[in-house]
Protein backbone atom coordinates (compact mmCIF):
# COMPACT_ATOMS: atom_id res chain seq x y z
CA UNK A 1 0.00 0.00 0.00
CA UNK A 2 1.29 3.45 -0.91
CA UNK A 3 0.36 6.38 1.29
CA UNK A 4 0.74 9.82 -0.22
CA UNK A 5 1.04 12.88 1.96
CA UNK A 6 -0.02 16.23 0.57
CA UNK A 7 2.92 18.57 0.78
CA UNK A 8 1.03 21.41 -0.87
CA UNK A 9 -1.26 22.13 2.08
CA UNK A 10 -0.88 25.69 3.27
CA UNK A 11 -0.85 26.35 6.99
CA UNK A 12 -1.01 29.72 8.73
CA UNK A 13 1.06 29.84 11.93
CA UNK A 14 0.84 32.64 14.50
CA UNK A 15 3.97 32.98 16.63
CA UNK A 16 3.81 34.94 19.89
CA UNK A 17 6.65 36.33 21.97
CA UNK A 18 4.81 37.06 25.23
CA UNK A 19 5.26 40.20 27.29
CA UNK A 20 3.14 42.77 29.07
CA UNK A 21 4.71 45.98 27.76
CA UNK A 22 5.35 44.54 24.31
CA UNK A 23 3.89 41.32 22.92
CA UNK A 24 5.50 40.35 19.64
CA UNK A 25 3.59 38.52 16.94
CA UNK A 26 4.57 36.99 13.65
CA UNK A 27 2.34 35.28 11.12
CA UNK A 28 3.81 33.01 8.48
CA UNK A 29 2.38 30.80 5.79
CA UNK A 30 4.01 27.38 5.49
CA UNK A 31 3.54 25.12 2.49
CA UNK A 32 5.66 22.00 2.64
CA UNK A 33 9.19 23.31 3.30
CA UNK A 34 8.42 26.78 1.93
CA UNK A 35 7.61 29.60 4.33
CA UNK A 36 6.67 33.18 3.67
CA UNK A 37 5.89 36.11 5.95
CA UNK A 38 2.32 37.29 6.19
CA UNK A 39 2.53 39.95 8.91
CA UNK A 40 4.48 40.83 12.02
CA UNK A 41 4.49 43.50 14.69
CA UNK A 42 3.71 44.11 18.32
CA UNK A 43 0.84 44.77 20.66
CA UNK A 44 2.07 47.51 22.99
CA UNK A 45 0.84 48.75 26.32
CA UNK A 46 1.87 51.96 28.05
CA UNK A 47 3.70 51.99 31.37
CA UNK A 48 1.29 54.52 32.91
CA UNK A 49 -1.85 52.50 32.23
CA UNK A 50 -3.40 50.48 35.05
CA UNK A 51 -2.16 46.90 34.91
CA UNK A 52 -5.62 45.33 34.32
CA UNK A 53 -6.11 47.63 31.31
CA UNK A 54 -2.74 46.57 29.93
CA UNK A 55 -3.72 42.92 30.26
CA UNK A 56 -7.04 43.59 28.55
CA UNK A 57 -5.24 45.26 25.64
CA UNK A 58 -3.01 42.20 25.21
CA UNK A 59 -6.01 39.88 25.38
CA UNK A 60 -7.97 41.87 22.80
CA UNK A 61 -4.90 42.19 20.57
CA UNK A 62 -4.41 38.44 20.41
CA UNK A 63 -8.12 37.89 19.81
CA UNK A 64 -7.98 40.36 16.93
CA UNK A 65 -4.93 38.66 15.37
CA UNK A 66 -6.59 35.25 15.58
CA UNK A 67 -9.79 36.66 14.08
CA UNK A 68 -7.98 38.42 11.22
CA UNK A 69 -5.53 35.70 10.19
CA UNK A 70 -7.36 32.51 11.25
CA UNK A 71 -4.18 30.53 12.04
CA UNK A 72 -4.23 26.73 12.10
CA UNK A 73 -1.58 26.68 14.87
CA UNK A 74 -0.54 29.20 17.52
CA UNK A 75 2.98 29.03 18.92
CA UNK A 76 4.33 30.63 22.10
CA UNK A 77 7.92 31.19 23.04
CA UNK A 78 8.31 29.71 26.50
CA UNK A 79 9.27 32.25 29.14
CA UNK A 80 12.86 32.31 30.29
CA UNK A 81 14.18 34.63 32.98
CA UNK A 82 17.88 34.89 33.48
CA UNK A 83 18.48 38.24 35.12
CA UNK A 84 15.34 40.35 35.46
CA UNK A 85 13.15 38.35 37.82
CA UNK A 86 11.20 41.48 38.85
CA UNK A 87 9.34 41.37 35.54
CA UNK A 88 8.56 37.64 35.79
CA UNK A 89 5.09 38.06 37.33
CA UNK A 90 3.80 40.80 35.01
CA UNK A 91 5.22 39.02 31.93
CA UNK A 92 3.66 35.78 33.15
CA UNK A 93 0.32 37.54 33.50
CA UNK A 94 0.66 38.94 29.96
CA UNK A 95 1.49 35.47 28.67
CA UNK A 96 -1.51 34.09 30.54
CA UNK A 97 -4.05 36.44 28.97
CA UNK A 98 -2.49 35.93 25.52
CA UNK A 99 -2.72 32.19 26.00
CA UNK A 100 -6.34 32.46 27.20
CA UNK A 101 -7.27 34.49 24.11
CA UNK A 102 -5.57 31.92 21.89
CA UNK A 103 -7.12 28.97 23.75
CA UNK A 104 -10.62 30.39 23.36
CA UNK A 105 -10.18 30.30 19.59
CA UNK A 106 -10.04 26.50 19.64
CA UNK A 107 -6.78 26.50 17.64
CA UNK A 108 -4.07 24.09 18.86
CA UNK A 109 -1.40 25.80 20.98
CA UNK A 110 2.29 24.90 21.09
CA UNK A 111 5.31 26.22 22.96
CA UNK A 112 9.03 26.05 22.36
CA UNK A 113 11.97 27.09 24.51
CA UNK A 114 14.28 29.86 23.35
CA UNK A 115 16.97 27.21 22.79
CA UNK A 116 14.68 25.13 20.57
CA UNK A 117 13.78 28.21 18.52
CA UNK A 118 17.43 29.23 18.13
CA UNK A 119 18.35 25.71 17.04
CA UNK A 120 15.51 25.54 14.49
CA UNK A 121 16.26 28.98 13.03
CA UNK A 122 20.08 29.07 13.08
CA UNK A 123 21.20 25.48 13.64
CA UNK A 124 22.80 26.59 16.93
CA UNK A 125 20.81 26.42 20.18
CA UNK A 126 23.16 28.97 21.74
CA UNK A 127 23.01 31.55 18.94
CA UNK A 128 22.85 35.18 19.99
CA UNK A 129 19.89 37.45 19.34
CA UNK A 130 21.47 39.11 16.28
CA UNK A 131 22.19 35.74 14.61
CA UNK A 132 18.58 34.67 15.12
CA UNK A 133 17.23 37.95 13.77
CA UNK A 134 19.49 37.76 10.72
CA UNK A 135 18.40 34.19 9.95
CA UNK A 136 14.72 35.13 10.37
CA UNK A 137 15.33 37.84 7.77
CA UNK A 138 17.10 35.41 5.41
CA UNK A 139 14.63 32.53 5.82
CA UNK A 140 11.65 34.79 5.17
CA UNK A 141 13.31 36.72 2.33
CA UNK A 142 12.90 40.07 4.08
CA UNK A 143 14.92 43.14 3.10
CA UNK A 144 15.52 44.12 6.71
CA UNK A 145 15.58 42.47 10.11
CA UNK A 146 12.05 42.63 11.56
CA UNK A 147 11.68 45.35 14.17
CA UNK A 148 11.20 45.49 17.06
CA UNK A 149 13.08 42.47 18.43
CA UNK A 150 9.87 41.02 19.87
CA UNK A 151 8.36 40.67 16.38
CA UNK A 152 11.52 38.92 15.11
CA UNK A 153 11.35 36.55 18.10
CA UNK A 154 7.70 35.76 17.35
CA UNK A 155 8.55 35.04 13.70
CA UNK A 156 11.34 32.78 14.94
CA UNK A 157 8.86 30.81 17.04
CA UNK A 158 6.57 30.39 14.02
CA UNK A 159 9.50 29.27 11.84
CA UNK A 160 10.52 26.77 14.50
CA UNK A 161 7.05 25.25 14.45
CA UNK A 162 6.93 25.16 10.65
CA UNK A 163 10.23 23.24 10.64
CA UNK A 164 9.14 20.76 13.30
CA UNK A 165 7.67 17.50 12.07
CA UNK A 166 4.03 16.86 12.82
CA UNK A 167 4.88 13.94 15.12
CA UNK A 168 7.49 15.96 17.04
CA UNK A 169 5.21 19.00 17.30
CA UNK A 170 2.71 16.97 19.34
CA UNK A 171 5.34 16.81 22.09
CA UNK A 172 5.25 20.62 22.28
CA UNK A 173 1.48 20.97 22.20
CA UNK A 174 0.05 22.68 25.24
CA UNK A 175 -2.58 20.39 26.68
Q: What is the mean pLDDT of residues 130-147?
A: 96
- The predicted model scores a pTM of 0.90
At the topology level, CATH places domain 10-172 in: Nucleotidyltransferase; domain 5 (3.30.420)
CB contact at 8 A, 150 and 16:
no
Q: What is the mean pLDDT of residues 151-165?
A: 94
Among residues of the chain, what percentage have pLDDT more than 90? 76
For residue 46, give the 3-state DSSP assignment. coil
| Range with lowest mean pLDDT among 28-37, 72-81, 86-95, 161-170 | 161-170
Give the residue extent of every domain in the chain: 10-172
* Cis before 148? omega within 30: yes
What is residue 5's predicted lDDT score, i.e. its pLDDT? 45
Task: Give the catalytic positions in this structure.
Answer: 17, 77, 150
- Alpha helices by DSSP H, listed for 70-148, are 88-104, 114-122, 129-140
CB contact at 8 A, 12 and 27:
yes
Amino acid sequence: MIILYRMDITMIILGIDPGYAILGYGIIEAEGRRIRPVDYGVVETKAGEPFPERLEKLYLGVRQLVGMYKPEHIVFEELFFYRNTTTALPVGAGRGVAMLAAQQSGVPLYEYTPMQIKLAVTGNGHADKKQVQQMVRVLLGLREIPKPDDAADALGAAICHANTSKAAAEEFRIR
